[in-house]
Amino acid sequence: MEYVLKKEVIGPIIVLITSYIIYFLLKKIIKKAFQIKNKKIDEKRQKTLESLILNIIKYCIVVLSILSILSIYGVDTKTFAASFGVVGVVVGLAFQDLLKDFISGASILLENQYRVGDVITIGDFKGEVLELGLKTTKIKAYTGEIKIIANRNILEVINHTLEDARAIVNIGVSYEEDLEKVEDTLNDLCQKLTKELSFIKGNVELLGITEFKDSSIEYRMTVTTEVNQQYTVERMIRKRIKQEFDQKGISIPYNQMVIHHG
């Protein structure tokens, strides 16, 4: 009786401790393996694969631990495994949402829809992917909010970081300005900005006049940027345009209110 008691009490504890040690060692090995740079797989995808593999290992160890503990308590795990097909159907019906999450998570990874570190938009929420698991995706907004989304609910994704971005800046000038002077100034500025700006790929270009507005003529400048750096580049370009226009005496139209005294 004392032997059985020890077996049923100590056995599960040993199984749990052993399972934790195995998971800890495997986790350490996998992390070490992924520290080796693979030219065929970029860093973001390596992190995503690492997260997914660790998830799979964790679930497998949990299942094996449960089977081992059941065996200690006298449950015939062979019969249990043989009848797993029937149990699987029942479990599948009961946990179909969970299975959908797993299938969707695997599909997202295999199709390379997004990776850890990518900036994506799902519905009306935009943020950086912090974690991609078999069940959920966790993304963090620029303002700090974190949203956790079940993978089965991710039907449409906008990925902002798969390709290079493009900075686009529209510049309004007064109708009274000398257009030749404006264009010469902007062309000279494009050459300066190409040398000055960080995060850009290629030359800053003046596309010319894009629109005649009510109180201004609108020009457009553009340049290809590194992933997710277009807004930083746009802010830098706008600042330099204002500085250059001030030096050359070119006015940027703005709304004015005229008050008539009766």
pLDDT at residue 59, as a whole number = 79
- Alpha carbons 118 and 243: distance in angstroms, whole number: 34
Domain ends where: 48, 82, 116? 82
In a domain, 111, yes or no: no
- Alpha carbons 231 and 233: distance in angstroms, whole number: 5
In a domain, 117, yes or no: no
- Alpha carbons 261 and 40: distance in angstroms, whole number: 73
Q: Which two tokens stand for residue 49?
A: 């694969």
pLDDT in tens, the chain (262 residues): 555 556 677 878 888 888 889 888 888 888 887 776 555 555 666 776 777 778 778 878 888 888 888 887 777 666 655 555 555 555 555 567 777 887 888 788 777 888 888 889 999 999 999 988 778 899 999 899 999 999 989 989 999 887 888 999 999 999 999 999 999 999 999 999 999 999 999 999 999 999 999 889 999 999 999 888 898 999 999 999 999 999 999 988 876 555 555 5
Angle 126-132-136 (CA atoms, 0-180°, nearest 5)? 85
Q: Which is nearest to 166 in space by CA: 239, 219, 237, 241?
A: 237
Q: What CATH number corresponds to the domain at position 226?
A: 3.30.70.100
Paired with 176 in beta bridges are: none
Q: Is 133 left (phi over 0), alpha (psi -120 to 50) or beta?
A: beta
How many domains are there within the chain? 2
Domain ends where: 30, 54, 82? 82
Residue 130's contacts (CB-CB under 8 Å, 6 or more residues apart) are 116, 138, 139, 140, 146
In a domain, 142, yes or no: no
In a domain, 256, yes or no: no
Integer CA distances (angstroms), 73 to 6, 12, 191, in order:
12, 9, 78
In a domain, 91, yes or no: no
- Alpha carbons 63 and 77: distance in angstroms, whole number: 12
Per-residue 3-state assignment (H helix, E strand, C coil) for 100-133: HHHHHHHHHHHCCCCCCCCEEEECCEEEEEEEEC
Domain ends where: 82, 115, 148? 82
In a domain, 154, yes or no: no
Range(s) of the domain holding residue 26: 2-82
Residue 259 DSSP label: -
Predicted model pTM:
0.55
Q: Are 233 and 225 in contact (CB under 8 A)?
A: yes
In a domain, 199, yes or no: yes
In a domain, 183, yes or no: yes
